[in-house]
Amino acid sequence: MRRPIISVFTIAILSYFFLAPISANAQGETKIRGGLKYNTHIEAIGISVGGDMPVADMIRVGGDFNYYLPGDEGGISTTVWTININGYYVVMENGSMTIHALAGINYLNWSYDSDFCDDIFGGFSSFCDLSFTNTGINIGGLAEFGTGNIGFFGTVQLVGITGGSSGLAVGGGVSMAL
């Protein structure tokens, strides 16, 4: 289970160090974002943290981590989180508003934990703790509003398209230029 997580983080860190010298020549600022996201497949609200950086005049790369609020129904608790790595293309820039088209890769982790297994199986409760992962493709859009270092953003994405866990993710929040 840890191997996919380590691989995703390794790729993200190596990508940053590879792309940082390229982005120094690109126009724009590195941005960080925080907000809320709702996913129709997961049917839950999540907390989203991410950012992006320029690699060319109209192209940015970035990603986000989304932790969806845990659910507990009938003694079964669920934990869901996703990592998205995206490329952004500036479609329109008009004063304080910028609209980006985006495409990328989505990694989803979904875990279940049953309280019933602790009572029934005792020390073998790990048989009832299940999880699965899925990888898919994202497409969508990002809109940014505001001038200066602080702004607002909204995003709409079709996530996990090729992975069997597809859904619509809608989110928004605050962005800050570094």
DSSP 41-61: TTTEEEEEEEEEEESSSSEEE
In angstroms, how far is the first alpha carbon of the chain from the final one?
A: 34
Q: Which range in 118-122, 130-134, 142-146 is most confidently predicted, on average pLDDT? A: 142-146
Which amino acid does the sequence have at 162?
T
- Looking at residues 139-158, what average pLDDT do you find? 92
Model confidence at 178, pLDDT cuts 50, 70, 90, reads confident
Model confidence at 125, pLDDT cuts 50, 70, 90, reads low
Q: Which residue has the higher pLDDT, 3 or 103?
A: 103
Copy the structure tokens of residue 114: 């049953």
Model confidence at 25, pLDDT cuts 50, 70, 90, reads very low
What are the CA-CA distances from residue 99 to residues 25, 59, 88, 142, 154 (Å)?
22, 12, 9, 6, 10
Model confidence at 159, pLDDT cuts 50, 70, 90, reads confident
Lowest mean pLDDT among 21-25, 50-54, 72-76, 106-110: 21-25
CB 153 within 8 A of CB 33: yes
Domains of the chain listed by start with CATH number: 2-69+82-108+136-177 (2.40.160.20)
> Beta-strand (E) ranges in 18-163?
31-39, 44-54, 59-73, 76-94, 97-114, 130-145, 150-159
User: Virtual CA dihedral for 25, 154, 90, 141, nearest 10 degrees?
Assistant: 130
Quick one: CA dihedral 171, 136, 161, 129, positive or negative? negative
Quick one: CA dihedral 164, 168, 173, 178, positive or negative? positive
pTM of the prediction? 0.77
State how far the Cα of 127 lies from the Cα of 150, in Å rounded to an integer: 47
Q: Which residue has the higher pLDDT, 56 or 20?
A: 56
